Structure 1
Amino acid sequence: MAVKQSLKRFSPDPPKVLVIGFIVIILIGSILLSFPIATQDGEGLPWLDALFTSTSATCVTGLVVVDTGSTFTWFGQLVILSLIQVGGLGFMTFATFFALILGKRVSLKKRMLLQESLNHLSIQGIVRLARKILIFTVIIEGVGGVLLSLRFAYDMPLGRAIYFGFFHAISNFNNAGFDLMGEFKSLTDYAEDPLVTLVVAGLITLGGIGFIVMNELFEYRMTRRLSLHTKVVLTMSAILLVAGTLLILFFEWKNPKTIQPLGATGKFLASFYQAVTPRTAGSNTLNIPDLTHPTLLLTIYLMFIGASPGSTGGGIKTTTTATLLGAVWSQIKGKEDVSFFRHRIVHDLVYKALTVTVAGLLLVTCITMCLTITEQGADFFMILFEATSAFGTVGLSMGLTPELSPLGRILIIFTMFAGRVGTLTIAFALARKRRKDHYQYPKGKLMIG
């Protein structure tokens, strides 16, 4: 009883802290990007554009209203890179890191906030996990940065190649999708390049499966055991990746604007990358507006699903999708329970998966409807694509974002924020304290279907 009272007294209401924390970081970033030193023309970004860019970087989205490579100075680009890193790992992870460096004890409050930030099931071992996250990040971004630097050194001076290599490694590991290539062209010059394609796709995938999964895979040699969460994440990710690659290869095979002119290897690499990047990364090797409608629709589905819990990505998550599909399959088979790998999924998690999905659908639908009003004359498919990209914190664009009206930019800013923080987290932060009912109504019956 004393422990429960202590937890209640010290509970900092994590959803509110996370929402406020992200807002503060976004505002600081927008101020820095509006400084004259941040842009090539020496005038700084207009505040709304600075707010949009800061939100996109902090929420690791990648949608941009100005070209990153040609608009910003080194100062502006490093501000964006810092926002990407803090936003991708979570500000609580960095707070824990600095506390450990200074030799300070991580308090119960911070542990609870860190647990909420990482979407971890338990507070036990959360500080140790945060330490491993930072180690994984340094190693993966470092290796990715070196490999990309070596490749870019063939196309540009060595110093610039190193800078480009590490910028794109950090951006893609955090599933942000910001690039320095100029003219909004992302990585389209490297569609047939196996090194760039595989390294960047690897960074995106590692960042998207989640740090909990990454840690279990790292410890597998010692434990010889994977949790149900890890098994579901890896299985669902593999299914989406393989199915996405094959479908895009089929849809784009005869498209003269995308993969038809490429060789056999180039066709596969481009299709593979296009299946990886909607999992909330945002960089692209194929020009998005040139894709066929079936590929664009498939991309919207993949963007909405997104990455996995506890990762740098957004969307409703792979585990949510797996749980809903499992519930549908169980209903068809006449079973009461959803089960994966001989484990029964409790009904509370099925309800949560349904809530997350419906909330995401409602948000994308409402934002799309609003954008059809504010962006009159824009193609509906383009608006839906942009809204879904913002919600999934993906960053892929059909070209609408730079043309958005001020009100349209505000709508996308809110969508990116909601997609990164989570619609449920925002709802919990705004709502009064939740409490369980101590009574039950009598059962009722409805005709469904």
Structure 2
Amino acid sequence: MKDHSWSPPQILIVTFVSLIIFGAALLMLPFATTNGISFIDALFTSTSAMTVTGLIVLDTATAFTMFGQVVIMLLIQLGGLGIMTFAVFIYIAIGKKIGLKQRLIIKQALNQSTIGGVVKLAKRLLLFSLVVECIAVVFLSVRWVPEYGWFQGIYASVFHSISAFNNAGFSIWSDSLSGYVIDPVVNVVITLLFMIGGIGFTVVFDLWKTKKFKRLALQTKLMIVGTLILNILSFFVIFLLEFNNPATIADFSTLGKIHASYFQAVTPRTAGFNTLDIGQMEESTLFYMITLMFIGGGSASTAGGIKLTTTLAILLATIAFFIIKALALTIAGMCVVIFTTFVLNLTEDAPFLTILFESVSAFGTVGLSMGLTGDLTFIGKVMIIGTMLIGKLGPLTFAFAFATQSPDLVKAPEEDILTG
């Protein structure tokens, strides 16, 4: 009998799904929720947390006890930073050698083009992430400890720092961060967290070690310029479209309008937090946000979507290899979204735009919703679970998992950019 050796994508998917199921089992424990939870809702919540999406069928603030919220928080941290990042730490702690196969799995998990330096990258990623989250906890504690007391204030700071840095969008408050729509500290700290987490860790480390812009990697240059342009453009689009909307920012002061527009401009590309009622925004704004959710953040980051570099690769059409891969990922992503939207349109009693918004939010692992998530049918929840999982791991990862030839046999060009 032929010995079957699993490929790195297959191992990654199996491990990821296993941890999701384990997380769902923890959430089904009697002391994890206030009024109990069904398996499908526990599975949905665990998937949303592990894929750092943020869509919820139950209110995190009221349906889960502190134990349940901590489980969600740990799933977010594990899913956001990557299973293999923590695996590297454990391997080193117990003195076990990291072999070639483990390095290939780490390469797949961190979406790198080669195995060179992946262990060092994983170690730096874990250290960098924990340091950034701790700094954010300090700043948020200064804001929330006086309001909620030491324990609750620090707990809220830790939960939201982890959720924001990993682009999850989960909150321990029912209205997300709507109560802090014009708060400068919360706006700045939270947005910096999910922008740093979403720009891509290879970009962050490249910026750290390279002082001159000309010497930066192509990936880094594309992400910096692309993110800057897209964020500025999105701010003005949302500011202008929502300026006279009485249900969102019309009644705010000019400074309040700027705060709210800025936050909602940078959050759709997978952060998931909101300071405005998404369901009350103009349809033109929502359509624009759908585009941002589909684009997502940076490769090798906590963000989802087809990735900004994928979009730039198509728009700039610089290298044929990247065009082919970017088109494949985009078409695959569109097929997933179209199929999910089609099924939800049959099973859910909701307007088409609401369903499309939900589908793209799940694929982009954003977590924003126009209010449909809590009313999803069983089939609807199953569809969104699958869409979140594909959106997090990437359509091409699933394609490679069932491919007969390893994607590692493909040679990379002289300089690489990440597109998935």
Higher relative contact order by CA 8 Å / sep ≥ 6: 1 or 2?
2
> Percentage identity across aligned positions?
46
Compute the displacement of 1:11 (Å).
Answer: 7.6
Q: Partner letter of residue 21 of structure 2?
A: L
**Residue of structure 1 equivalent to 2:403:** 431
SS at 1:16's partner residue? helix
- CA distance 1:110–1:435, shift in 2 (3 Å): closer
Compute the displacement of 1:432 (Å).
Answer: 2.9
8 Å contact kept, 1:27–1:54: yes
Provide the rounded CA distance (Å) in 2 between the counterparts of 1:135 and 1:359.
Answer: 34
Q: 1:159 aligns with which of 148, 151, 154?
A: 151
- CA distance 1:434–1:120, shift in 2 (3 Å): closer
**Residue of structure 1 equivalent to 2:336:** 363
8 Å contact kept, 1:178–1:282: yes
Q: Superposed, which structure 2 residues align to 1:189-200 within 5 Å?
A: 189-200=179-190
Q: Superposed, which structure 2 residues align to 1:107-256 within 5 Å?
A: 107-182=99-174, 185-221=175-211, 225-256=215-246
Q: Partner letter of residue 105 of structure 2?
A: L
Q: 1:93 aligns with which of 81, 85, 90?
A: 85
Deviates more, 1:103-112 or 1:86-95: 103-112
* Number of corresponding residues: 407
Q: Which has the larger radius of gyration?
A: 1
Q: Superposed, which structure 2 residues align to 1:322-337 within 5 Å?
A: 322-327=312-317
Provide the rounded CA distance (Å) in 2 between the counterparts of 1:87 and 1:292.
Answer: 33
Compute the displacement of 1:223 (Å).
Answer: 9.9
CA RMSD, 1 decimal: 1.8
Q: 1:272 aligns with which of 255, 259, 262?
A: 262
SS at 1:153's partner residue? helix
SS at 2:147's partner residue? coil
- CA distance 1:435–1:68, shift in 2 (3 Å): closer
8 Å contact kept, 1:11–1:109: no
TM-score (norm 2): 0.94
Show CA shifts across 1:51-108 (max 9, x none).
0000000000000000101111111111111110110011111101111122222111
8 Å contact kept, 1:10–1:109: no
Provide the rounded CA distance (Å) in 1 between the counterparts of 2:45 and 2:276.
Answer: 23
Provide the rounded CA distance (Å) in 2 between the counterparts of 1:226 and 1:326.
Answer: 18
Q: 1:389 aligns with which of 356, 361, 364?
A: 361
Provide the rounded CA distance (Å) in 2 between the counterparts of 1:171 and 1:220.
Answer: 29
**Residue of structure 2 equivalent to 1:373:** 346
8 Å contact kept, 1:146–1:166: no
Q: 1:308 aligns with which of 298, 301, 322?
A: 298
The alignment status of 1:422 with 2:394, answered yes or no, reads yes
TM-score (norm 1): 0.88
Compute the displacement of 1:221 (Å).
Answer: 3.7
Provide the rounded CA distance (Å) in 2 between the counterparts of 1:361 and 1:420.
Answer: 15
Provide the rounded CA distance (Å) in 1 between the counterparts of 2:143 and 2:71.
Answer: 25
**Residue of structure 1 equivalent to 2:311:** 321
Provide the rounded CA distance (Å) in 1 between the counterparts of 2:120 and 2:406.
Answer: 30
The alignment status of 1:348 with 2:338, answered yes or no, reads no
SS at 2:315's partner residue? helix
Compute the displacement of 1:433 (Å).
Answer: 3.0
